[in-house]
Each structure stands twice: as structure tokens, then as C-alpha cells.
Amino acid sequence: MKDIASLIRDASVHSSLYADPAIFDLEMESIFGKGWVYVGHASEIPRRGDYVRRTMGLEPVLLIRGADGIHVVANRCAHRGNLLCQPERGNRRTLACQYHGWIFSPDGALLDMPLSSIEPDESLHLKRARVDSYNGFVFATFNPSPIPLLEHLGHAARALDRQVDLSPEGEVELRGPWVRHLFRANWKMLSENEADGYHVGFVHDSFTKSVGTPGKYGNILSGEEDRITAVVRYLGNGHTELDYGPTYDRPMTWLGVDETRYPDYTRDMVRRHGESAAREIMRAGPPHTFIFPNLFLAETCLVMIQPVGVGETVNWHTPLYLKGAPEELNRRIMRQGEVALGPSSFLTADDAIIAERQWRALKGSPAWLDLSRGQSRETTTDGGVVVSHYTDETPNRGFWRCYRDIMAETAQPTL
């Protein structure tokens, strides 16, 4: 019998962590069942009764707005387990089961059992998650006594601040629709990849050349690694970051336009933040940050990672619109998302091919995988953030340390 901790070393991990169904089941319990999971954004459900369907691990849930705020409840009748809401989104003042007519409130309380003389009691309420939010980003957990959300976010909260700071009103909006891509690969392969700068010059070479951004990505294929000023960070608690901000020398480079393109936006940003702060916010641009275990702030897009099985994962993508910004600017954000992550995009197709090839190679051939790049040149800030070169595997090593700590708290399967 081996425990999971023995499969994770300082600079290597064992491939069975991606391929073993027993480990996947344990992850659904320990990570997605007991930790904070991103479930949606408040702007998706603006009115009372609005809901969207989501999952927490493999658990179907509803993110729904009631009279008293936002709730996350199981999308499964407490009677016989029937799915309560079939459409992906909608508006319901109550949740009625089509099987036997049981009716629940948006907070999951059982309101009525037709043809029954029994008074509803709490044992028949829908399963409820604890809910908290930060800057409109909503997280939930089935853990009855979790750590506070802000403690879980830690240094990653700054990435959410950075995202909303780009809005003249301090808010982002998810207007939809979502694009979903099925990856025949393990969910952790996608999570690790989000802050992996090492692969960009190889996997996305055609993209970086076509969009004309060599200053952003550098050219590691030509031995010009020292030109790259972007950095990677391990933020703690499984959160990772690839920061392109240092590569931008003027405002709005991240959107591919000159700062004079949207004068009304610049004016409104200065009104909100002041001249100096506004220019720095518009120069540094949006975050490229993975928030453990399933949220990726992909600069001008939001990505949700949804595990489906040990070798199947769905990536959800949608633009992050800046509330109060000119519509022309938000349309450009939408087009940028289509090019990068849409159905005919470069980046998603590139990453899918690599992830699926990696999965096929690993699932039948156990091996130790190397994560040692850049160990000797990491630095740690006073706040505990580990920083290194853009191509170093610092985020991956941090991800796996967090994973090991979480999984060690749960009984280990026999491998």
C-alpha cells in the first residue's frame, strides 16, 4: 500500500496521480467536496429567481438568487434524486420536482409534499453548500466548517482585485454565452498548464507569431530566454500565476491597442483611481492566474475547469466584460476571447492536443515526471510568494505541494 504523499516529491510526481480512478474519486471528496470551489459570478444571476446550473466536482448544483441573497443547492430532489432544473439557466421562484411534485425554495428548504399529511422537516431539504463571494466571484463548499474564503484566496485575492480594477465601475460582468471544450485528459493537466510559461514558445508558436507579440512571449526557441521579462509565481494554497505585466511598457498593450484608442475609458479610469494609479492599472493589464482548484482568470476571459471523469475534463470559457467601459472596448475583449479560446481558436486547440497526447501516454505506462526546472533561481517574497523566471516550473511544484497537503488529510486508497 502506498499513500499519495509518496507519489509527490520535491521536483517530480508519479503519473498514477493523473490516471488512477481511485485517486480521482478521492479528489472529488477531498478537494471538490471539502474545499472552496468556484461556481459562478453574481452578474450571471442578477434578478431574484435567476439560476445557472453548475457542478462541484461531480455534484450537480444550482447557483440561484433568492430573496435573501445567493444560494448554492444540490440540483437533485431530496426525495428520489430527480434532477430539478434541466435548462442551463432560467428563472424560478420555487424549485419543483417533475417526478412527484415536491417543491423547494431557492435556499433548498422543502415547502410542500403533495398528497402528504407529513410536515416538511430539515432532513428533507436540498443539500446546501456554504457560499461566499469576493468581487462578485462566487465560491461554495460542502464543508460545514471551512476556512474563511479570504484565507483560502490568500495572495490570489489580489488577482481578483486586478481584474475588477480595470473596470471604471470596479465590476466585471459575465454576459455569456459560454463555450465548452471537452478535453480527454485529467483535470490536473489543465490546471497545471494555466501558469506554465515553458510550453508557450513551443505549443503556441504559430499563435505567438500570427498575433505579432514576440515582446510579450520572448523567443525561447531562438535562445533568447533572457529577453523574457514575464514571471511566474506560486501564490500559496494551490494558486499559481503567470504575470505578463512586466512585458508591457505602456497602457493598453494587453488589449493590442494604443492608449489613445479609448479616451472615454481613460478619462473614467482616471476619475476612479487617480492619474498615476489609473495609468499603472491600464499598463499592467489583467491577471493570468489560476485559483485552486477550478478557476482560471485568463486575462480577458474566465475559464472554469470541470472534472467529468479521471480522463475527461470540460473547460468552460466566457469573456470578462468591464462594467462601465465603452462597448467598443468590450467587443474587442469578446473578439480577443474568440481568437484565443473560442471554437476555432489557436490556444484551446493547441492545449487540447498536447493534454490528450499526454493522457494517452501516461495512463498505460506509470512513470515519474520531472518538475525540476528553475529550482535554483526561485526567490521568495516577505509575504511568502515564490517568484521565478517565466519558463520555470515553480507554479507546478507549488500546486503539487498544496495537493499533497490536502490529500494527506484524507484516508489513502490502496494503489
> Where do the structural domains in the chain lie, given as residue ranges?
37-145, 154-408
H or E segment to which residue 208 belongs: helix 205-210
Question: Residue 351: what pLDDT?
Answer: 84
Could you give the CA distance from residue 191 to residue 97 in angstroms, rounded to a whole number? 35
Question: Residue 214: what pLDDT?
Answer: 45
> What is the bridge-based pairing of β-strands 379-380 and 239-243?
unpaired
User: Do 266 and 282 form a contact (C-beta atoms < 8 A)?
Assistant: yes
Could you give the CA distance from residue 405 to residue 401 in angstroms, rounded to a whole number? 6
Could you give the CA distance from residue 185 to residue 199 in angstroms, rounded to a whole number? 17
C-alpha cell at 118: 407529513
Identify the bridge partners of residue 141 per DSSP, sorted by sequence position. 130
Question: Residue 3: what pLDDT?
Answer: 85
Question: Residue 210: what pLDDT?
Answer: 65
Could you give the CA distance from residue 360 to residue 365 in angstroms, rounded to a whole number? 9
Question: Residue 204: what pLDDT?
Answer: 74
Could you give the CA distance from residue 327 to residue 292 in angstroms, rounded to a whole number? 32
Topology given in CATH for the domain delimited by 154-408: Naphthalene 1,2-dioxygenase Alpha Subunit; Chain A, domain 1 (3.90.380)
pTM of the full structure: 0.94
**HSE-CB for 60 with a 13 A CA cutoff:** 15
Q: Which residue ranges in the chain fall short of pLDDT 70?
A: 1-2, 206-225, 410-415
In angstroms, the Cα distances linking 99 to 61, 82, 84, 118, 245 are 18, 7, 9, 18, 53
- Other CB atoms closer than 10 Å to residue 267's CB: what's the count? 12
Burial class (CB in 10 A: 0-12, 13-18, 19+), 94: exposed
- Measure CA 138 to chain center: 11
Domain 37-145 maps to which CATH number in 2.102.10.10, 3.20.20.80, 2.30.110.10, 3.90.1300.10?
2.102.10.10
The torsion angle over the Cα atoms of residues 196, 197, 199 and 203, rounded to 10 degrees, is 110
User: Do 415 and 31 form a contact (C-beta atoms < 8 A)?
Assistant: no
DSSP symbols for 300-316:
TEEEEEEEEETTEEEEE
